[in-house]
Structure 1
Amino acid sequence: MDFPEKVLLIDDDEEEHFIFTVALKECCPSIKLICEKNAGSALARMANYDASSTPNMIILDWRMPHISGKEVLIRIRKLPQYAKIPVVIFTGIFEPLYFEEAKELGATFFLRKPFDFLELCRKLAYLFTLDWRDPKSPGQQI
């Protein structure tokens, strides 16, 4: 499997940070997970570009207070150093309208919640078997 070195998780829920940390240690222990609790701090991190700390993948909660996942995705895709970084939308909303909108804005994959721990491990392992760096069909549901 081809694992990313660093994954940035942008989610306002501390419990999600914990679950992703444990899941990645279980299925992909070599991955360094960077957690941001709010969109503002995540966008500030990305604006202060440092090639050594740039993630290889971003997991983004679609529903967050203050700055939505949609707005974060729009801003990410405007940053040249992040334009090609795969973005996994992590959401409980799976209405076709949201799905298509996120796909048009540059979402690479969709990971549905809620889930249980084993399901998350399985889905992450599956994600890393795909050509996640250059997917043939962006917007794939995991």
Structure 2
Amino acid sequence: MNFPKKVLLIDDDEDEYDIFTAALNGCCKGVELIYEKNARSALVQMANDEADTVAEMVFLDWHMPQISGKDVLTSIRKLPCYTQVPIVIFTGLLDPFYLKEAKELGATFLMEKPFDLADLGQKLEYLFSLDWKQIKHTGQQI
């Protein structure tokens, strides 16, 4: 499989980082996980990224305090280094309204937060098995 080398998780829940780390270690060894709990600091970091420091895929919680996932997604898509990077909306509730909105704003994939580690590992393996670097349409649900 063609795993990304580096992924960024933007999620205010630190438990999600722990679960994500465990899932990656179980299914997708070698993928570096960068974690940002705060959306503002994530955007600052991303704005300063250069070609060799850009994450190959971003997982973004849609429901975050202070800045909504919608606003973060819009801001990410304006960053030159991130216009083509796949963005996965990672949310506890795949509400049809939010799904439509995320798709229109350029989310590449939509993934409901799984309730167990094995499910997340399977979803990550499936996602990474796709030709994720060449996705032309947005909003594919995983």
- Unaligned segments of structure 2, at least 5 residues: none
Structure 1 residue 114 displacement after superposition: 4.2
* Counterpart in the other structure of 1:78: 78
TM-score by length of 1: 0.96
Q: Give me the CA root mean square deviation.
A: 1.0
Code of the aligned partner of 1:50: E
Code of the aligned partner of 2:29: P
Are 1:127 and 2:122 matched, yes or no? no
* Counterpart in the other structure of 2:8: 8
Are 1:42 and 2:42 matched, yes or no? yes
* Counterpart in the other structure of 1:118: 118
Code of the aligned partner of 2:72: V
Are 1:21 and 2:24 matched, yes or no? no
C-alpha separation between the residues in 1 aligned to 2:71 and 2:24?
A: 26
SS in 1 for 2:52: helix
Code of the aligned partner of 1:23: A
C-alpha separation between the residues in 2 aligned to 1:9 and 1:66?
A: 17
C-alpha separation between the residues in 1 aligned to 2:92 and 2:124?
A: 17
Percent sequence identity over matched residues?
A: 61
Equivalenced residue count is 142
- Unaligned segments of structure 1, at least 5 residues: none
C-alpha separation between the residues in 2 aligned to 1:131 and 1:99?
A: 22
C-alpha separation between the residues in 1 aligned to 2:39 and 2:12?
A: 8
Structure 1 residue 136 displacement after superposition: 4.1
C-alpha separation between the residues in 2 aligned to 1:69 and 1:95?
A: 13
